[in-house]
Chain A
Amino acid sequence: VKCVLFNEEYMNCTWGSRETLKANYSLYYWYRNTSNKVECKHYWQDQDIRVGCHFNQDEIIQFQPFHVLLKASMGGSTLEISKRMELQDLVKPDAPVNLTIHNMSNNQLQLTWATTYPKAKCLEHAVKYKSNKDTDWMEISVNGDVFSLPSVDYKKFYTFYVRSKVNKYCGRTQLWSEWSAPVVWGSNSTSKGRSWGCIHWFWIQTVLISIASCLILLALVILLVRMERVWVILMPRIPNPSKNFDELFITHNGNFQEWAGVPKDVVESFKPNYSENICYVSELPPKDSYEPLWESSNPPPSVMPSASPAPGEHSPYKNSY
């Protein structure tokens, strides 16, 4: 016979199922201080087979030895099973409720909860949590009804569960309650969705920034080319003076004076109005040692006045001889 006291509100004792034994069961119980055995008033039935007994709160007394006697009769024979129990050691509290997360300073989270168990001071708790980046759950024992998690990561997504058990100061039970409903903190997306979103957003950022940079650069280049004033400042032209002299060579046939705009009378004034022959002069040696200064077989140069300039040649030096 197995009995569980649920949140100290009611108790269920069970002794099997329809498949295990097909017999007529009767359960009797009594406490240490009573002498009369009392039969179960509310049986659990599984298709006409009694498989358990339900006890109301007023039928439950803790810290007194609880005796049960189960009678199984089948085909005229009766089998009796008796058991002694301490009901304070069979308490299973209800799961904690109203889990709430508070944001504290210094990246700290504080988890609080409430319980429907009538004696909250008799409970110890366990908190189970993990983030979306963790693989295993962390389970921490807590004596009060507050749990602090220091240094949380705001980029992570945390899930918390809490369960309760009667502590050693109020009983010797090993029965934990069911885990509470979860409470979450962090981003409101699933772990897979969140990681896919991060990658997606990364690529969008990269591509957008690259395209924007290229467009801006292209616009600047176009502006630069269109605005010659800016282009000339950045890329000054190599001076080519040939254009300046095109008129001299093409229009004036190389006549510098004419291109320069020198007046004609000035040009005429520079023309010589006399002619002058070229006179070659050589030095004769002294009389005493009149010897040809040259020793070579070459004939001495003749001392003669130079010939007159060729006709047609404008020379200021006319042949005066």
Chain B
Amino acid sequence: MSASMLSYILFSCLLLSVQAEHYCGGREIIRYTKRLLVDSSLSCPCRQTAGSSCSCLPIPEPGHELPCFVEGTKHMLKTNMSSKLVLERLYQTFQVQLDRNLCESLPRGDQCQYKTKGTVSEFLNTILTTYQAMNK
């Protein structure tokens, strides 16, 4: 392999790695989240007593969104839901972004920090709002 070819390959890898750091997958995540919001069969992932509200998913503090999204989608996967494939895809995307630091727009906090917990709808809307802000 000639020196020029090697330098070309190295430069391409560098360029791709730089681009990968900016990959947030905002449009894809927004599409999946909206699909889940429309799905009325989403049940409460919490073991709550009768009469209590189903608010057990973390609503993250600013700067700790990704860890909370990972934790929340993981919690939802434990229940039997019809949109399990979409949830699985979301969970994997958040996990990869967190592990590989792919999205610079999202601060990379190590642990999920939240002030309140919310329902499935509130949690999904938080995901939606976070990635819409990045798109805009």
Which residues of A are in contact with B by a Cβ distance under 8 Å? 33, 62-63, 86, 88, 119, 122, 168-172
Contacts and interface: CB of A to CB of B under 8 A. Distances in A.
Nearest to B62: A33
A171 B131 CA distance: 10
Contacts of A171: 132, 136
B102 interface: no
Contacts of A119: 136
A82 to B, nearest CB: 17
A88 B135 contact: no
Interface in B99-136: 128-129, 132-133, 135-136
Interface in B13-53: 26-27, 30, 34
A122 B128 CA distance: 15
Which of B26, B62, B132, B135 counts the most chain A CB atoms within 10 A?
B132
Nearest to B31: A168
A122 B129 contact: no
Main secondary structure of the interface of A (DSSP, over half): loop
A88 B133 contact: yes
Contacts of A172: 128, 132
Nearest to B37: A172
Interface of B: 26-27, 30, 34, 62, 128-129, 132-133, 135-136
Nearest to A91: B136
A88 B27 contact: no
B132 to A, nearest CB: 6
B12 to A, nearest CB: 27
B71 to A, nearest CB: 21
B126 to A, nearest CB: 11
Given A170-B132, A171-B132, 18 more contacts: A62-B133, A62-B136, A63-B129, A63-B132, A63-B133, A63-B136, A86-B129, A88-B129, A88-B132, A88-B136, A119-B136, A122-B136, A168-B34, A169-B26, A169-B30, A169-B132, A170-B136, A172-B128
Contacts of A170: 132, 135-136
A86 B128 CA distance: 12
A168 B28 CA distance: 11
A161 B136 CA distance: 26
Contacts of B129: 63, 86, 88
A63 B26 CA distance: 15
7 contacts: A88-B132, A122-B135, A169-B135, A170-B132, A170-B136, A171-B136, A172-B128
Which of B26, B34, B62, B136 counts the most chain A CB atoms within 10 A?
B136
A62 B129 CA distance: 10
Nearest to A166: B136
Contacts of A62: 133, 136
A144 B15 CA distance: 29
A86 B132 CA distance: 12
A63 B127 CA distance: 12
A172 B30 CA distance: 11
Contacts of B62: 33
Contacts of A168: 30, 34
Contacts of B132: 63, 88, 169-172
Contacts of B135: 122, 169-170
A171 B132 CA distance: 6
Cβ-closest 7 pairs across A and B: A63-B133, A170-B136, A169-B135, A170-B135, A169-B30, A170-B132, A169-B27
A33 B129 CA distance: 16
A63 B62 CA distance: 11
Which of A86, A169, A170 counts the most chain B CB atoms within 10 A?
A169
Contacts of A169: 26-27, 30, 132, 135
Nearest to B33: A168
Nearest to B26: A169
A119 B134 CA distance: 13
A180 B133 CA distance: 28
A169 B134 CA distance: 9
A159 B133 CA distance: 37
A63 B27 CA distance: 17
